[in-house]
Amino acid sequence: MDILTSLIIIPILTVIALLLVKDLKQVRLISAIGMFIELIQSIRLVFMYMAERASGNNAEMVFQKSYQWFESINIQYNVGVDGIAVVMILLTGIIIFTGVFASWKVTYLSKEFFISLIILSTGVFGFFISLDLFTLFLFYEVAVLPMYLLIGIWGTGKKEYSAMKLTLMLMGGSAFLLVGLLGIYMNSAPEGAPLTYNILEIAKHSMPIEAQRFFFPLTFVGFGVLGALFPFHTWSPDGHASAPTAVSMLHAGVLMKLGGYGALRVAMYLMPEAANEMGWIFIILTGISVIYGALGAIVQTDLKYINAYSSVSHCGLVLFAVLMINKTSFNGAILQMLSHGLMTAMFFALIGMIYGRAGTRDIRKLGGLMKVMPFLAVMYVIAGLASLGLPGLSGFVAEMTIFVGAFQHADIFHRIATIVAVSSIVVTAVYILRVVGKILFGPIINEDHAKLTDAVWHEKLPLIVLLIAIVGMGVAPLWLSNLILDSLQPIVDKLVIAAN
Amino acid sequence: MDISNFIIMKHELLLTIATLILLIAEIAIDNKKKIIPFAVGLFGLHTIYGFFGNVSGEIFGGMYQNSVLIILMKNILNIGVFIILLQASTWLLKEENKARISEFFILLFSTLIGMNFMISSGDFLMFYLGLELATIPMAALVAYNTDDAKSSESALKLIMSAAFSSAVMLFGVSLMYGQFGSLYFADLLAVDMSAPVTILAFIMFISGLAFKISLVPFHFWTADVYEGAPTNVTSYLSVISKGAAVFIFSILLFTVFKSLVSVWSDILYILAVLTMTIGNLFAIRQSNIKRFLAFSSVAQAGFILLGLLGTNELGMATVIYFVLIYVFTNLAAFGVVAAVENATNKVEISDYDGLYHTNPNMSLLMMMALFSLAGIPPLAGFFGKFFLFTAAAQNGYFWLILIAVINVTISLYYYLMVVKAMFINKNDNPIERIENNLYTKASFIICLVGIFVLGFYSSIFEYINSVSIGL
């Protein structure tokens, strides 16, 4: 079996194995083993990809496999990856693996929990390897719907409301997306030639500009809803705050990246003229996302809400970079997706662990945790520093690249937009440092908290994995950039040609 | 024409024979319980045999016609009826129904014969005969619970609205006859239909059919009848009866009324918007699960119209494919509702609270069915809906598709409400564990396989598409 298909077969097999067992220990063991193999496969894919490029394969997509599925509509099972997809798959592999460990304590209907979680990850892996818009959309929806059960059954707080809101908003987004994809399909080939869902084929042909004007906004908003584009971001704070730990990790860490990735790969790449023409509308909206998310995080008192608003801000930055249309900013967008994915997963894992011990996520009721649980507290500080863009950690690399890219535009509009977006860094520092100061340092507010314990092995393991990734990315960013940059070339070329 | 030509009418003849055998069996078999395996077995054989040895052609001077496409439609209906027969066993074995088991089968087979004739009709007279044969025994089936006033009331409503719609339809047909002097479809293909009176006749005709498919604004009977009828009959009404009407509707639009395509496209556009939206909005408000499924099936009919707006072979294929998926999906949902009702008499959505903890398998099946109805991948309903939209997109109906997908999102809300009841809501007094008999379990397994396989296994769609090209 080829390596890409194995990425979706492994989770499916894991789910089937889970269906056959009952015992909690077996459930954990099977999930952990399955996702460990998945992680190994994702890492293997990176090295295989580098070897393939080193051997001189310059194709836009490598490891391509294609089977005819629905012949009359020309739907294919068509998979392949480039550098962007490879790093996104690696990110997903890391987060689902750590997510399983973050869910170690789930005991209520644990089997159903892990099944839903792993089905969700199947959708994400499938999304990143798809080259066919139909299967891409199919996997996209597979990734969204399990969220309803995951939040509704295992969530906290006003979980039923949040679950419904999140599901309906995301499915509403995918409704727009569906119309956009059908529109692309109907305009995918010149008059007389067979229509196709194949992204690479469609990219060779340029769609009529009238069609682009109609379908670009639909597609971009469709993906944008998942990427927390203002004003469609409101599902995100409620959803993340109510979701169980691993689901928040996976959702903020990976699922929101589907939005950014799809916007770049489908909306921008396939409809470049409209992207250049209408980009300014979305630049304004993403600019609002960036600032609004950051300001929203300042006034929140619930740790999860703070992090959820911060995700709106950071994911807004991804879409912002995607709209800046040059190689540097695209590179920054991909790096930001990775960086945000890793650190937000770490944040949510830590918050879940703190909540599991202290029983509250309200920063007004927490204090002095550094003395009580030093390991978790140090990790929290590191994640926080990554988030506010300290050099040496992943956040700096990503944000720096984005802003350098954005500043290459010399006109007033882009300059102002960039300056506004840059100012979010300051706000980020405010809310991160405020939380760190409040809950980690300072006196212990609640005497009961003094007796709490520090992390145990199944909590340390995911945190350390994430830490290695964050530091690795911060210290050696060139390694990642090299993976990404070549693959961005065809997309940049198409968009730049369209601009002139 | 010699006697061997009758083989063209294989489906109808076999069903008639089966009905007659059952009439005799009713007298011969003392233990009425044994009629169930006998009848189900008989129909199972008929279903299987329906796939083999079919002959296309026409007899009675074109009054009756058969083609590969029509045979496929009949087979789809047969499969659906077979599933319903399996599901009905629990209900038929109840004390109050035991004495009248064979009536159910005989009436049901009669309506199916009517539908088969209707689909195969080659002129309007035959069409009308088939339609009435399908409708009148149906009313008797709806009234099957003789000790339940609601059941009788529903039957009365059904027969009244059916009579009314037939009258409107016949008026349209007679206007048509008055102009062209012929009722044969073949003759009507050759005439010029652009005169206003023809268009009036056409509109009257399709209004009649719209009653059968329960398109808004002709849907008012649906929820009341669905609620009052015995659940297994409701599933027959919502799947088989509606499916047959959709089939003949699409055949007529794509052949006889092909020249009026610009007229009926506009009409279907409006009907589709109304049907989807109003069906959905009313479904949200329901607390009774049968009424809920009734409005959900109204909304589903709206989506079918999008496929018809494809106005070519692909449109036809997507409609048939969607109905095929709809048969399995809706029967799964109704099967669970029937099983719960037969065991506990509970039909409110709130009664389903916490069902997963006591009946996990049925809850999962129900969830799959509802997700499939909502068009969630990887279940078959996703493929069905996506292809319907593709068909409509061919003719550039993107605004309509946008309305449709927004409706899909709304529909997801109320489907999720049922999922929420089963999986999330707490209940101190949930429905107890229900032990289904083998028939019901078999029907559930068939439905589940259908919900998963029909989408992924692309050969099925390709086959339907290849057959539709020969329309």
Per DSSP, what are the bridge partners of residue A81?
A: A62
Distances (CA, A) of A409 to A264, A285, A404, B339, B463: 19, 18, 10, 66, 54
Task: Give A31's contacts (C-beta < 8 A, 6+ positions apart).
Answer: A14, A18, A100, A114, A117, A118
Estimate to the nearest angstrom the gap between the alpha carbon of A500 and the chain centroid: 32
Beta bridge partners of A70: A75
> Chain A residues with CB-CB distance to B under 8 A?
69-73, 75, 134, 138-139, 141-142, 145, 148-149, 152-153, 160, 164, 167-168, 171-172, 175-176, 178-179, 182-183, 185-186, 214, 218
Query: Which residues lie closer than 8 Å to B467 by C-beta, 6 or more apart?
Result: B68, B69, B72, B317
- Kindly give, in sequence order, each residue whose CB lies less than 8 Å from that of residue A128, ignoring residues fewer than 6 positions away: A81, A85, A88, A89, A92, A261
d(CA A429, CA A426): 5
Of residues A139, A164, A183, nearest to B398 (C-beta): A183
Q: Do B419 and A178 touch (CB under 8 A)?
A: no
To the nearest whole Å, the CA of A224 is away from the closest chain B CA by 17
Interface test with chain B among A111, A122, A148, by most B beta carbons within 10 Å: A148
Residues across chain B: 471
Nearest CB to A70; choose among B396, B398, B458: B458
Q: How far is B424 from chain A, CA to nearest CA, in Å? A: 5
Q: Which of B314, B389, B416 sits opposite A178 (nearest CB)?
A: B389
CB contact (8 A) between residue A176 and residue B389: no
At B434, list the tokens: 């229900």
Q: How far is A413 from chain B (nearest CA, A)?
A: 33
- Taking only the tens place, the pLDDT of each residue in B397-411 is 999 999 999 999 999
Chain B positions touching A178 (Cβ under 8 A) are 386, 389, 401, 405
Distance from the Cα of A259 to chain B's closest Cα (Å) equals 18
> Which residue has 């009324």 as its token pair?
B257
Peptide bond into B196 cis (omega under 30): no
Contacts of A141 in chain B (CB under 8 A): 376-377, 382
Calculate the alpha carbon distances from A420 to A216, A283, A417, A458, B441 in Å. 25, 11, 5, 41, 62
Q: Which residues of B touch A145 (CB under 8 A)?
A: 371, 376
pLDDT at B1: 61
Residue A127: CB atoms within 10 Å? 28
pLDDT tens by residue, B338-357: 999 888 888 888 888 888 88
C-alpha span between A470 and A30 (Å, rounded): 27
d(CA B311, CA B303): 14
* pLDDT tens track for B82-120: 999 999 988 888 888 888 888 899 999 999 999 999 999
Q: Do B420 and A152 touch (CB under 8 A)?
A: yes
Report CA dihedral (A379, A348, A476, A458) to the nearest 10 degrees.
Answer: 60
Domain that holds residue B198: 3-469
Helices (H), B215-260: 220-228, 231-235, 242-254
- Tokens read off for A81: 């990856």
pLDDT in tens, B147-181: 888 889 999 999 999 999 999 999 999 999 999 88
Give the closest of B406, B413, B424 to A153, CB-based.
B424
**CB-CB under 8 Å, A134 with B386:** yes
Separation CA B216–CA B314 (nearest Å): 25
B393: nearest CA partner in chain A: A182
For residue B393, give how far its alpha carbon lies from the nearest alpha carbon of chain A (Å).
Answer: 7
d(Cα B245, Cα B114) in Å, to the nearest integer? 11
pLDDT tier, B323 (very low <50, low <70, confident <90, very high otherwise): very high
What is the distance in angstroms between the Cα of B468 and the nearest Cα belonging to chain A?
12
- Stretch B3-26: mean pLDDT: 88
* CA A39 remoteness from chain centre: 17
pLDDT digits (tens, 9 = 90+) for B244-300: 999 999 999 988 888 888 888 999 999 999 999 999 999 998 899 999 999 999 999
- Cβ of B398 and A70 within 8 Å? no
Instruction: Spell out, as residue ranges, where chain A has pLDDT lower than 50.
Output: none
CB contact under 8 A, B377 and A142: yes
Residue carrying the six token digits 């390897």: A129
Q: Please give the tally of structural domains in chain B.
A: 1
Distance CA A342, CA A91 (A): 7
Contact list, A160 vs chain B (CB under 8 Å): 420, 424
- Residue B223 to residue B294: CA distance in whole angstroms: 5
The pLDDT, as a whole number, for residue B471 is: 65
Cβ separation A141–B416 shorter than 8 A? no
Instruction: Please judge whether A167 and B412 are an interchain contact, meaning their C-beta atoms are less than 8 angstroms apart.
Output: yes
In chain B, how long is the greatest CA-to-CA distance? 69
Taking contacts as CB-CB distances below 8 angstroms, the residues of chain A near B396 are: 186
Contact state of B423 with A175 under an 8 Å Cβ cutoff: no
Kindly state the helix (H) or strand (E) to which residue B320 belongs, with its residue range: helix B313-344
Which of B386, B394, B412 is opposite residue A171, by nearest beta carbon? B412
Smallest Cβ distance to A175: which of B394, B406, B420? B406
Q: From chain B, which residues contact A within 8 Å (Cβ)? A: 314, 317, 371, 376-378, 382, 386-387, 389-390, 393-394, 396, 398, 401-402, 405-406, 408-409, 412-413, 416, 419-420, 423-424, 458, 461-462, 465
Task: Tell me if B298 sits within 8 A of B222, measured CB to CB.
Answer: yes
The pLDDT of residue B408 is: 92
Please report the pLDDT score of residue B470 as a whole number: 65
Cβ neighbours of A9 in B, within 8 Å: none
Do residues B423 and B364 lie in contact, with contact meaning Cβ atoms separated by under 8 Å? no
Residue A171 to chain B, least CA–CA distance (Å): 6
Give me the long-range contacts of B369-372 (CB less than 8 A, separation at least 24). B369/B329, B369/B330, B369/B332, B369/B333, B369/B336, B369/B447, B369/B451, B370/B333, B370/B415, B370/B416, B370/B418, B370/B419, B371/A145, B371/B415, B371/B419, B372/B325, B372/B329, B372/B332, B372/B451
Say how many CB pairs under 8 Å bridge A and B: 80
Question: Residue A299: exposed, middle, or buried by beta-carbon count in 10 A (0-12, 13-18, 19+)?
Answer: exposed
Among chain B residues, CA nearest to A119: B378
Q: How far is A158 from chain B (nearest CA, A)?
A: 12
The single residue listed with the structure tokens 């339940």 is B148
Chain A: closest CA distance from residue B460 (Å): 10
Tell me the chain A residues in contact with residue B393 when contact means C-beta distances shorter than 8 Å. 182-183, 185-186
B chain contacts of residue A151, beta-carbon cutoff 8 Å: none
Euclidean distance between CA atoms B118 and B131, whole angstroms:
6
pLDDT at B76 over 90: yes
Mutate to test the interface with B, among A70, A151, A195 (most CBs of B within 10 A): A70
Which alpha helices (H) appear in A408-456, and where do they start and end?
A: 412-435
Place of tokens 């969830």: B367
Are A145 and B376 an interchain contact pair (Cβ–Cβ within 8 Å)? yes
B126 Cβ contact partners less than 8 Å away, ≥ 6 residues apart? B60, B63, B64, B117, B120
- Concatenated DSSP letters of B251-295: HHHHTTTGGGHHHHHHHHHHHHHHHHHHHHHHHHH--BHHHHHHH
Q: C-alpha distances in angstroms, A157 versus A112, A114, A252?
A: 20, 21, 18
